[in-house]
Structures are given as C-alpha cells and as structure tokens.
Structure 1
Amino acid sequence: MATAVETEPADGEPRIETEAVGGKLAAQIARRIEETVIREGWPVGETLGSEVGLREQFGVSRSVLREAVRLVEHHQVARMRRGPNGGLFICAPDAGPATRAIVIYLEYVGTSVADLLEARLLLEPMAAGLAAERITEDSIESLRAILADESVRREDPGVSAEDPLHLTLGALSGNPVLRLFIEVLTRLTARYAHTSRRLSKAEVLDSKTVAHEAHRAVVDAVIAGDGARAQIELTAHLESVAEWIEKHRVRRASRIKGPVVEPEVVEGPGAKLAEIVAGRIHEDIAARGWQVGMVLGSETDLLGRYGVSRAVLREAVRLLEYHSVARMRRGPGGGLIVAEPEAQASVDTMALYLEYQGVTAADLQTVRNAIELGLVARVTERLAAGDPEAVDRLGRAVRWPSEGPPEDSRKADLFHTELAALAGNPVLSLFLSILTELFRRHAEGGGQPLPGAQAADEVEQAHGRILDAIVQGDAGVARHRMRRHLDALTPWWH
C-alpha cells in the first residue's frame, strides 16, 4: 500500500502525494528530460536549467523532480550540480547502465549457455567480418597488443572474466549496436564461467593456451582483411568456449548467480555507495533463488545489515525499484519485497544509450536482419516436429494488422515478437525488442508517418508468406522472404 507524504509543489502550496503516484510521475518527468536531451542533439556540458526552473517548467514538487533527476543521473544523461551556477548539466553516458539493465533481466528469466552461444554465433562472427573490412594500422596494433598481453598472463592463476579481444572486435565493427550487444553477451558468458568448479593449474593453463591460439587465428584473419576466414575461426572458438563452460560448470542452479548491479563511476560518494549497496542487495536476492514476493527485511533491518545511512539505502532501493528487482512496501508487514524484473527497463535504458551513440538506421538493420533470420530458422526447425498451437499463434499474429484495434501502432510488430517468443531464446527476444523500439524512435524522430491501411495489407501478406514457408519446413525460403520483407521496410526507418 502506498503511503501519503507531504510534498511541496512549484507554487509553494503543500499537497499530499502518494509515493506510488510520485514515483510514476518522476519516471515520466525523467523521460521528458531525456527526450529533450535527445531532441537537442545531446549537447554535453550544456545546462537544462536550475532546480527551481525545472520545477516550474514541469509543474511538480521538489521531491518528484529530485526523484526524476536521480533516474536521469542513473542513466548518465545529466547530473545535477549544486551551488552557484549550478543546475542540471547534460553529460556523456557510458555503457554501464545499459548493459547492467539487460544482464539483470536476462539473469532473472534464466539464460542458458545454449542461448548465449546462439546469440554470440549470430552476432560476433559478423562483427569480426566487419572488423576485417575496416582494419587500420591502429587497430592492428590494438589486436596484437591484446595477444601479447594474453601471452604474458598465461601463467597467471585463475581464469580471467575479461575477454578484451571479443569486446575489441565489437568496437572495430563500427556498429554501436553490435558493440553493446557483444559486451552484454561477454559479461553473461563470464558470469557462467565464474560458476565453474575449481580447476587445477594444468587445466587453467590448457584452457588459456587453447583460447590464445584461437584468438591468434581470428586476429590473423582480421588483420589480413579476410572476413570470411575471421568468421569461421571465431565461430569455432565460440563453440569451444561453450563446450568448456558446459564441461566445467557447477550445476547447483539453473540461473547465473552473483552480483550484477556493479558500482558505476558517478559523481559524488553518496551515489556511488548507493550503487554498491544496490549490488549487494541484488546479490542476496540472486543467492536465494530470486523468490518473488519474499521479504528481505524492513528498512531498519536493511540499515543494520548493510551499515549505511537511510539516505543511501533509499537511493539504492530506488535503483532496484527502477529495474524491478525489489520494491519497498510501507506499513505493518512491509519491507523490501523481491519483485519480478520487467524487460521494458532494459529496452528503454539500452535504447537511450544507443541514441546517444548516434546509432543509424543502417546499424540497426544490420543487426536486426541477423537476429530475425536466425529466429526464422530456429522456429522453422521447431515447427518441423509439429506444434499446431505455435502455428495458430503465428497465424493470429499475421492477421493482427487488420484485426487489431486501430489505435495499436505496434500491430505489425506482433508477428516478429511471436517469432522471437517461439524461438525460446530470451537473449534474442530482448535484443529484438530493443531494435524494434529504436526503429520506432527513428521513424518518429524523423517525422515519418506510420504506414497506412495499404501498407498494413502488404505487411500482412509478407508475414503470411513467411509463415507458409515456416509451416512447410523450408527454412531457406522463409529466411529469403524475411530478408525481402525487412528490406521493404527500410524506407520507413530512414
């Protein structure tokens, strides 16, 4: 139950506002601030106004505005600077909040090694091929430095969670979407590796030697500009990584364990400490099997457990609430309650960061094509074994553009969403949601009108032809028709 708190609106008249309503309003204000930053071209260093000015602009209380600012700061869109000449200043974000939001959600829904491998096999070889096309003297030096460092560290104890070669290939692809998705996949793979059993020195050395030789083969191909060979070598390496993890992983639980919400580099010790506390609370939730509805303790209990001030704890709770990791319930029998994470926070945070990176429609289309074609192949394989319910779901999705409510602007997306759901890979499903959201923002930002009735009919026909090929078990034709369909949509996203 929400509790009532007195807040001070812009006009100075006190009013009663529930925490639930205030939190929802703060999220709306945060989104409006972020939209303003995007619309103005993300001018880093410029001010959006003082606290007083922003309260007047949005017509909200001090508490609501400050809550909105905390969310904006968490996304690293802007920072509030106090004192003379202060205000809300636009800043340059890093990928931390975006990758963290995705990892939290994927951890909760349960992501297998097979899911990760499938996603990595779709995206990373493509990044290696693009890197080979764009290779420069500087990037050659960077790749060889990574190999040299691996060689030096081969005798170090333990298996490192870092894998700079894969991250570097993502960066060298020149596609910010690929780069960010690969970072997420690499982090998740590292978390699985951390659940592995204790290894002998000989096993560690052997695994490092095998990985180093595989990396060398990939780098040699990239430096030579041989994109095809780079893709082949990287594919073989990823399959080897998956086999190693499956062989050595401890199987006590189906989900990845351990902290996900890690400390961010932020201004101010209070904010940084809140991030750390949020990470520790999340670690406790994950260690207990993510039991939705479980009470972790009252605010007093948590203050004693984590040894922080009330202000820091409440800031940490706000971050957890934003990611739907946990929610604070006030009153008798209340406390911090374990929640069920939602995908939308991941989608919004990732989309926001990629907009800052200046992602283009071409960047989005490159990655979307790879994912959608992979999903079509997987669903075709699944339906080959017979699944009339899945066919019915896809059939309804095909008809939805004409049968769905007129006000539903996302009707045409349902067929693609259902394909992702039926493929059964939470990583690819979430990635597709992010891409779809970004495509929509590109269209809206460019003032592009939504497709009319005629276009909806054409989309429905295209979806129907794809479904026909899937039902017939012809993955090649299904992929061909999906590719043509996505190409036909290109004018709407540019």
Structure 2
Amino acid sequence: MVAAESPGPRAAQIAALIETEIIRRGWPVGESLGSEAALQLQYSASRSVLREAVRLVEHHQVARMRKGPNGGLVITEPDAAPATRAMVIYLEYAGVTIDELLAARLLLEPLASGLAAERIDEAGIDRLRTSLAASGSPRRHDEFHVALAELTGNPVLALFVDILTRLTARYALDTRLPSESEVSDTVRRLSADHAGIVEAITAGDSARAKTLTGEHVRMVTDWLRQHYRSGTRRAAPAVTEPGKRAEVLATQIRRDIAAGGWRTGSVFGAEADLLERYAVSRSVLREAVRLLEYHTVARMRRGPGGGLIVTEPQPGPALDTVALYLEYRRPTAGDVRQVREAIEVDNVVTVVERRDDPTVAAFLADHAAAEVPPPEVERVGQAELCFHNGIADLAGNRVLNMFLAILAELVRRHWTPTQQPVPAAADVADMHHAHVRIIEAIRSGDASLAQHRSRRHLEALSSWWMHA
C-alpha cells in the first residue's frame, strides 16, 4: 500500500513534463504523445506513477489516454472549467470578501464591455443576442457575462471574468432564500440590464456599455450584500457537471468541505465512512482523494484516528492550472499588458486612498529614498518586482493580486530574462525616477496624476519586460 501512495510528487513532476512537451509542440490537438509503455520508458516511471501522472494531465484536460490499437496519450482541446474551478477553490478558502469581489468586477467587467463594443462584428452581435434571450435565470445570467467577455478577443480577460462570475455564484450559496416575488423582480432587472448593455455594445457605444455594466455589477453586489448571511451556507448542491466519476466526486467533496466551514485539520471522514456516504467504489474514492491532495484541499491519513484531513489550499496548483489553460489560448503580449495595466493602475488609486495608513506611509517613504539599482537584469527585475508587488499588497485585493500572479507566471513562461535586453544605466535611472514620481503623486493625494504616471511607466517598461 505504501508504494502505491508514494508516487505523488514524482507523478506531478511527470505530469508537468508532459504538459511542457504539449506546449513545446504547439498544442497539436489529436496528436499522440506515445503509448503507455513508451511513456514509461521516456520518463523512467513505473506504471503506477505514470498512470497517476496521466490522471493529472486528464484532470487538466490537456490530454487523455486512448485504449486499443493506435492508442496512447492523445492531446486534447481543454476548456476553462478546471482552471476556473481551481481558482475559485483557492479564493473561496482565502475568504475573499464581497467588497474585494465587487472591486474586481467593477474594474474588469466594464473594461470587457468597452472592448466588446469596439471589436464586435455581426457574428458577435448574434451570439450576444442569443445569450441575452436565454438569460432568464441566474445560471444563464452568469453565462451572459462570460459570453460577453469572450467577445473582447482577450483570453486573459475572458477567463478572469469567468472566475469572478463563478465566485459570485459561490457567494450566492451563503444568501438567504428570497421570496418568489423577489426572485422574479431580480430576474427582470437582470434581463433589463443585459438588454441595455447589449444595445450599447451593438451600437459601438463603448462609454455607455462601460457605464451600464458598472451599474449592473453594483446592483448584483448590492443584492448579495442585502441577502448575504455569513456562516449560514445552504447545503452544497448536487454536482451535475459531466466528467469522470472521480473528478465529479472530488468536486462534491470539496463543496461539502466548504459548506461545513472548511475546518482545517479536522477529519472530514474515514475512508469507510466516505465510501458509504458517497456510494462509490474504493478505486473511485482514492482517485478523487489524489485530486484533492493535488489541489491541497485535503489529504488522506492512514492508521488509527486517520481519515480525510482538511488542509489549507495553496495558490500554486490554482495558478499553474490557470496558466496552463492560457498557454492553450495563446494570449498576446498586448492581451497580458492590457489586463495588467488595468489592475496596476487601479491599485495605485486604492493606495492613494490609504496613503495615511502607517504601513502605506512607511512603504512610500522607503521607496522614495531608495537608491538606483545597478543595471543588471536580475537586480533591476527585483527592484521592479518589489515596487509593483508592494503597491499591490498595499491595495489589498486578494482577487486582483492572484490575477497579477497569473500574469507574472505567463510572462515568466514566455518572456524570460534571457530574452530581455540588458538595460542601460539611463534606462534603470528612468525606471527608478518613475517610481519616485508615482510615489510623489500618491503622497500628495493626486490620484489622477498617480494613474497617469503609473500608466506611462508600465508602457515604457513593457519594451523591456515583455516583447510582443
């Protein structure tokens, strides 16, 4: 038994290598990476370790094992579900507040509406109107927002809106059940808002589309605030989404853990209890547990007093899953810059509002007095990271900070320091001067000037940290 359970880290390493190979090949959907025997030889792995690695790859929906003649591990076309699910798991556990969620939605969804109005064609108009016609329920309401974001042509923005929409739906589980008349009134308001947004986008009125979307997001969030009752979550709904039995079971257990208050360190149930509770075979349960362990949701402890132990989810698995999905969608440098700029410029505004806080004031004073770093790629990168991460931490929105971490991971994967030109001393001095000027605007309470200087700095910086 011990040998069967020990391959976890090694299997995860092999899964990562397989996924890297898929990316290196350009993600050729339908192509085989080789038979099980060939893959065992290629990665020097036992059958049990390789099969666990394949389960993780299948969980990410980047490849699947096909049996029979001409079988093997076949590259597939992924969808956003594993990526959004992984992110919602982490953010939900982190206890993201409604205010953080509102701020993220107010930033990104009007941006999506404005871009859709500028870029939409007649096929997009037909798609949006079809989605509008079907948006007569809360679930369809969510689909409308995702469909709209897809029309921006920016896969990063579309995925982030999808995550925010799903996270909002999770908060709805903590709301008191409204009366039928309240539900009807809310659905009518949602439909009316959607109709107005679609009309503005169809007309190409970017400014009005942004305004209407912002008003709509505020209405939805106000409704959540009005009905939200922390600690009174309704029972997790039955999982109806398609997928392998172990994957569906892992999702159900994760939702049940969250519904129970996510008591880290507690025993969710012994293996025998879980087999009876969920009416599954031992093999299905153990495969589901492996997925839960991968996402650091829970781990199985053997022996007396053992069972499925609730653990603290870490951001790494969620970040990797999202970044992997975006690898397939192939965002451009412009797509990444667009979202990063929106978040970072907005962070500056929040820091201006908090400038008198002792922690914020100390950070600003330290960076205003900092010396110009030497013109070495690593040292300059560290100075940049320290400044921008510091501003993001002071802004304090955990949703947007996670999104920035995803963008940083995409940059790391595609635009590495070895591809970057060594900055000249004058470039480094300009970067440092830009930091100081942003700080001066923040300390003086001039939000608009701080935004302007931050935006110009990011534009100038992009030629070094990322190439289109």
Using the size of structure 1 for normalisation, the TM-score is 0.86
For 2:419, the equivalent position in structure 1 comes to: 448
Report deviation, 1:30.
1.1
For 1:269, the equivalent position in structure 2 comes to: none
Q: Does 1:351 align with 2:349?
A: no
Structure 2 letter corresponding to 1:345: P
Report deviation, 1:377.
0.7
Report deviation, 1:43.
0.4
8 A contact 1:97–1:349 mirrored in 2: yes
8 A contact 2:174–2:228 mirrored in 1: yes
For 2:357, the equivalent position in structure 1 comes to: 387
Runs of at least 5 residues in structure 2 that lack an aligned partner in the other structure: none
Aligned counterpart for 1:215 among listed residues 179, 194, 212: 194
Runs of at least 5 residues in structure 1 that lack an aligned partner in the other structure: 7-17, 267-271
Structure 2 letter corresponding to 1:389: T
Structure 2 letter corresponding to 1:204: V
Q: Does 1:237 align with 2:216?
A: yes
How far apart, CA to CA, are the structure 2 residues paired with 1:371 and 1:350? 18
For 2:260, the equivalent position in structure 1 comes to: 288
How far apart, CA to CA, are the structure 1 residues paired with 2:334 and 2:253? 40
Q: Please, which moves more after superposition, 407-416 or 228-237?
A: 407-416
Cα shift readout 1:188-245 (whole Å, capped 9, x = no counterpart): 1122234322222322222122222221211111111111111111111111111122
Aligned counterpart for 1:309 among listed residues 281, 287, 292: 281
Question: Residues 40-439 of structure 1 correspond to what in structure 2 (within 5 A)?
Answer: 40-150=25-135, 153=136, 159-160=138-139, 162-252=141-231, 259=236, 265-266=242-243, 272-383=244-355, 386-393=356-363, 402=373, 412-439=384-411
How far apart, CA to CA, are the structure 2 residues paired with 1:183 and 1:400? 42
Figure out how many residues of one structure are paired with residues of the other and give that number.
463
Q: Please, which moves more after superposition, 134-143 or 182-191?
A: 134-143
Report deviation, 1:93.
0.2
8 A contact 1:257–1:286 mirrored in 2: no
8 A contact 1:96–1:264 mirrored in 2: no
How far apart, CA to CA, are the structure 1 residues paired with 2:372 and 2:78? 37
% identical aligned pairs: 52
Structure 2 letter corresponding to 1:493: M
How far apart, CA to CA, are the structure 1 residues paired with 2:391 and 2:182? 41
8 A contact 1:261–1:282 mirrored in 2: no
How far apart, CA to CA, are the structure 2 residues paired with 1:238 and 1:301? 43
Report deviation, 1:354.
0.8
Q: Please, which moves more after superposition, 431-440 or 130-139?
A: 130-139
How far apart, CA to CA, are the structure 2 residues paired with 1:394 and 1:307? 57
For 2:439, the equivalent position in structure 1 comes to: 467
8 A contact 2:242–2:248 mirrored in 1: no
How far apart, CA to CA, are the structure 1 residues paired with 2:371 and 2:48? 43
How far apart, CA to CA, are the structure 1 residues paired with 2:31 and 2:236? 35
Cα shift readout 1:448-477 (whole Å, capped 9, x = no counterpart): 147558466654443333233323322222
8 A contact 1:78–1:89 mirrored in 2: yes
Report deviation, 1:362.
0.5
How far apart, CA to CA, are the structure 2 residues paired with 1:170 and 1:125? 10
8 A contact 1:264–1:275 mirrored in 2: no
Report deviation, 1:28.
1.4
Structure 2 letter corresponding to 1:23: G
Structure 1 letter corresponding to 2:419: Q
Report deviation, 1:147.
3.4
Report deviation, 1:145.
2.7
Report deviation, 1:411.
5.7
Instruction: Decide whether aligned partners of structure 1 residues 319 and 260 sit closer, same or farther in structure 2, where only a CA change above 3 A counts.
Output: farther
Instruction: Decide whether aligned partners of structure 1 residues 405 and 169 sit closer, same or farther in structure 2, where only a CA change above 3 A counts.
Output: closer
How far apart, CA to CA, are the structure 1 residues paired with 2:55 and 2:240? 15
Structure 2 letter corresponding to 1:486: L
Instruction: Decide whether aligned partners of structure 1 residues 283 and 196 sit closer, same or farther in structure 2, where only a CA change above 3 A counts.
Output: same
How far apart, CA to CA, are the structure 1 residues paired with 2:236 and 2:330? 30
8 A contact 1:131–1:169 mirrored in 2: yes
How far apart, CA to CA, are the structure 2 residues paired with 1:402 and 1:299? 56
1:247 alignment partner, SS class: helix
8 A contact 2:59–2:247 mirrored in 1: no
2:3 alignment partner, SS class: strand
How far apart, CA to CA, are the structure 1 residues paired with 2:183 and 2:114? 30
1:89 alignment partner, SS class: strand
For 1:493, the equivalent position in structure 2 comes to: 466
